[in-house]
Structure 1
Amino acid sequence: MTSWRKSTRTNTGNCVEVRNDLAALRDSKDRDGGSLAAGSLRSFLRAVKSGRFDR
């Protein structure tokens, strides 16, 4: 079984969930609507945390 998680900072049920292996994202309002493969999510998160991500 695949495990999903969402931010603990959300005050509503409306957010994006991330698969625990960081390989996919999905809409928490439509869990059966499919997911988006996110092969580079891990490297994106590393860049954000290190301050290398520039908007």
Structure 2
Amino acid sequence: MLTSSPNEGGPASRPTGIRVLIHSPFRVYYRIKPSLRRVDILHVWHGRRRGPYS
């Protein structure tokens, strides 16, 4: 899903350049590297926990 539509998720509150995609009950935090044609997944977080970038 992220490889075909990396802009699907919205920006995380902090830091800049990190995006979050909600896939209930999980939040997937990731960064897009367009120059490398790559998506880096940073965290997969359960929705009941406070997020790493909250």
- TM bucket, shorter chain: 0.3 to 0.5
Q: Tell me which protein shows more helix as a share of its residues.
A: 1
Q: Tell me which protein shows more strand as a share of its residues.
A: 2
Q: If the length of structure 1 is used for normalisation, what is the TM-score?
A: 0.40
Q: If the length of structure 2 is used for normalisation, what is the TM-score?
A: 0.40
- With a CA cutoff of 8 Å and minimum separation of 6, indicate the structure with the bigger relative contact order: 2
Larger Rg: 1
